[in-house]
Amino acid sequence: MTVTFEDIRLAAQRLEGLAIRTPLMESQALNDRLGLRVLIKPETLQRVGAFKFRGAFNRLAQIPQAARAAGVVAFSSGNHAQGVALAARMLGMPALIVMPADAPQVKVDATRGYGAEIRLYDRMKEDRIAIAAEIARDRGATVVPAFDDLDVIAGQGTVGLEMVQQAEAIHAELDMFICPVGGGGLLAGSSLAVKALSPKTLVVGVEPAGFDDTRISFEAGVRQGLTPTTRSLCDALESPAPGELTFPILQTTLKEIAVVSDAEVADGMRYAFSTLKLVVEPGGVVGLAALLARRVASLRSGQTVGLVLSGGNVDPGLFARVLQGDY
């Protein structure tokens, strides 16, 4: 099974009036610096401060009424956690989120604030998937994966759907669509929508150095896993392998995967704050970082680029250090 454009269209109907239809922004300063026209979709302005609400609500809204009382279980370092927690509250369902003990405190606090129960774990020693599965069995709850789920992918695909529609409304044709990639839910769903509506648009994913599992897999032609030996500034993108459902989609839609360093991510965060006037978390800014650092090989001068800034939930202390130049 896979996700279709019709699935994404139906997800958009479920989300209408609930998810924020984030705008397209344009910065003349950024355009002049890059020699491009960049149309920015700031999912930093979405409910919970990230695109994750879209997929979470689309998944939870389709859980049968008889199963809702048992609630849902998810595992996430933060943004999916908040998306599931808010969607569950809106639908009157209990939620438990398995979160790493070193997750940004701002994300832990926000998840609790939406009413979810939290189970912390050691990401270096414990298996979050196994923990979630055991809790779900004990409670009879529904597990909601962060990216490897058809309904989640379809919900995230509404980002790409909206971007193409909004570009068309201002008579712009996207030569390229650039988006962060961790497990691949956002990029898989959005690239399907983009390619359905604008087949000539090239799709580019961006990953952090050390967690470029999608790039390695894409070049190998088969899913490849990584054994991380370090951490990335982009905590939201530290997936060790692309998803079983997302990767086959990406194989059909992707042009390339760009990779950025922590230093380039920090530069992107500073630029977003100083020039775009947006607070963007490390994982959410990788696309901008790739543009600023000229990491997109297939990009050509004068092109029109759709750029997703996927989230803005950054730890205040970390953000202050980045702005001060400590990264």
Is pLDDT at 259 greater than 80 in this prediction?
yes
The mean pLDDT of the chain is 96
Last residue of a domain, one of 147, 178, 213: 147
Give the 3-state secondary structure of residue 38.
Answer: strand
On whether both 165 and 257 belong to a single domain, the answer is: yes
CA pair distance 104, 257, nearest whole angstrom: 27
Asked if residue 166 and residue 62 are part of one domain, the reply reads no
Give the span between the Cα atoms of 142 and 135, in whole angstroms: 10
Instruction: Give the domain-ending residue among 106, 123, 147.
Output: 147
Same domain, 238 and 173: yes
Residue 155 shares a structural domain with residue 142: no
Q: In this predicted structure, what is the pLDDT of residue 261?
A: 97
**pLDDT the model gives residue 230:** 82
Catalytic residue among 41, 52, 107, 195: 52
Q: Residue 102's pLDDT band (boundaries 50, 70, 90)?
A: confident
Contact at 8 Å (CB) between 113 and 139? no
Q: Residue 61 — pLDDT band, cuts 50, 70, 90?
A: very high
**Strand-pair partners of 192:** none
User: Do 141 and 156 belong to one domain?
Assistant: no
Q: Examine the residue annotation and report whether 52 is marked as an active-site residue of this protein.
A: yes
Model confidence, pTM: 0.96
Are residues 180 and 318 located together in one domain of the fold? yes
200 is a catalytic site residue = no
Q: What is the pLDDT of residue 227?
A: 82
Number of domains in the chain: 2
Residues 227 and 266 in one domain: yes
Determine the structural domain holding residue 62 and report its residue range.
53-147
- Domain closes at, from 147, 181, 210: 147
Task: Please tell me whether residues 221 and 108 are part of one structural domain.
Answer: no
User: Are residue 13 and residue 142 in the same domain, yes or no?
Assistant: no
Pick the catalytic residue from 190, 232, 239, 310: 310
CA distances, 193 to each of 57, 100, 159 (Å)? 18, 32, 8
> Where residue 227 sits, what CATH number does that domain have?
3.40.50.1100
